[in-house]
Amino acid sequence: MAKGSKKQKQFKIRKKTKRREKLKRLERRYFTARTRREEREAIEKIRRLAPNYPVQEILRPAA
List phi, psi (to 5°) of 37.
Answer: -60, -45
The answer to whether 30 and 43 are in contact (CB under 8 A) is: yes
pLDDT tens figures, 6-24: 999 999 999 999 999 999 9
What mean pLDDT value characterizes the chain? Answer: 90
Model pTM? Answer: 0.77
Contact status, residue 30 vs residue 39, Cβ threshold 8 Å: yes
pLDDT band for position 2 (cuts 50, 70, 90) = low
